[in-house]
């Protein structure tokens, strides 16, 4: 079942955030430190009360979170150059490694898409780190397209 996350979900979402960080640390050890995470349990609790954040979770039959999507509401003002728009930025989407490839991620993303449609957003946006080929393939399968490309060069 997919629902809005609740405070009781914070410890489990925090644990899943550690899994996400390990994926990033493996793909980009030059940028991410293994054994850390983007948001701790207290941060997740804060996000739950942030009016610009929407956090969904898919739960198993015992109401335990097996995946989540953290989304932020972003507004771009029409300034004569940029077209004004409302975007739902998917900051993080994770599926517990024990249930990956079972449809949880697809259901979560479709839920995010329906929410964006129902709430009148113009775009869904997200970032995928180079080297996270699984995520890139997933989002392409879900129908997303590249908006921009960020290039880098390490200076030694």
How far apart are the C-alpha atoms of 50 and 54, rounded to whole Å?
8
The domains found in the chain, sorted by start residue, are 2-141 (3.40.630.30)
Q: What is the pLDDT of residue 27?
A: 94
pLDDT in tens, 100-109: 999 999 999 9
How far apart are the C-alpha atoms of 39 and 36, rounded to whole Å?
9
Q: What is the pLDDT of residue 87?
A: 98
Per-residue pLDDT of the chain (156 residues; tens, 9 = 90+): 999 999 999 999 999 999 999 999 999 999 999 999 999 999 999 999 999 999 999 999 999 999 999 999 999 999 999 999 999 999 999 999 999 999 999 999 999 999 999 999 999 999 999 999 999 999 999 999 999 999 999 998
Q: What is the pLDDT of residue 20?
A: 94
């Amino acid at each position: 079942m997919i629902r809005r996350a609740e405070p009781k979900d914070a410890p489990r979402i925090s644990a899943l955030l550690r899994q996400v960080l390990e994926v990033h640390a493996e793909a980009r050890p030059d940028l991410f430190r293994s054994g850390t995470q983007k948001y701790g349990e207290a941060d997740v609790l804060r996000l739950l009360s942030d009016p610009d954040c929407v956090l969904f979770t898919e739960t198993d039959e015992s109401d335990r979170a097996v995946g989540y999507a953290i989304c932020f509401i972003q507004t771009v003002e029409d300034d004569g150059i940029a077209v004004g728009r409302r975007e739902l930025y998917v900051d993080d989407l994770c599926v517990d490694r024990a249930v990956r490839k079972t449809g949880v991620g697809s259901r979560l993303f479709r839920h995010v898409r329906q929410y964006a449609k129902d709430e009148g957003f113009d775009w869904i946006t997200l970032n995928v780190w180079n080297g996270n080929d699984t995520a890139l393939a997933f989002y392409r399968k879900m129908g997303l397209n590249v908006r921009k490309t960020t290039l880098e060069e390490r200076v030694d």
